[in-house]
Structure 1
Amino acid sequence: MAFDPCDYGDAYTKRTLLWGHFTPPPKTNRVEPERVSSQGSWLMKLGGSSERTKELRSVTPAGFARAFFEANP
């Protein structure tokens, strides 16, 4: 399964792939991603390998987390 946070209400892109046995949540509440640079979303502006950068890039988008939880009780 592949998703972008904007498919679930978070206004940025970061294509993510998931593997496993689960019910994929329906893509609801799609919003247009905000472009904050020529590269795309704010996430693309994060560079380097600091712990803070790694933490920000690894956070699960709230909209997807909610939809996944509801689809997999």
Structure 2
Amino acid sequence: AGVGLSKTPCWKRVKALEDAGIIRGYSTRVDPAKLGFGIEAFIQVSIDFELSEAFEAAVQAHPLIRRCHATTGEA
């Protein structure tokens, strides 16, 4: 659907919305399978606090781990 504007006025409006903080950024949604990631898994790991730094370093160094979340509390 068109908005009745040429590229320049449309770009200026978008730029003004960005400058005003209304548009805060952009994101991209990718298809993991097309990147060669056939499985997405959520795995619960319980570790002692003393091992948390070593665990974090190992996770950051692993090329196939895309995200890691920390949670607290009892299930």
Determine which structure has more spread, i.e. the larger CA radius of gyration: 2
Using structure 2 for the length normalisation, give the TM-score: 0.26
| RCO higher in structure (CA 8 A, sep ≥6) | 1
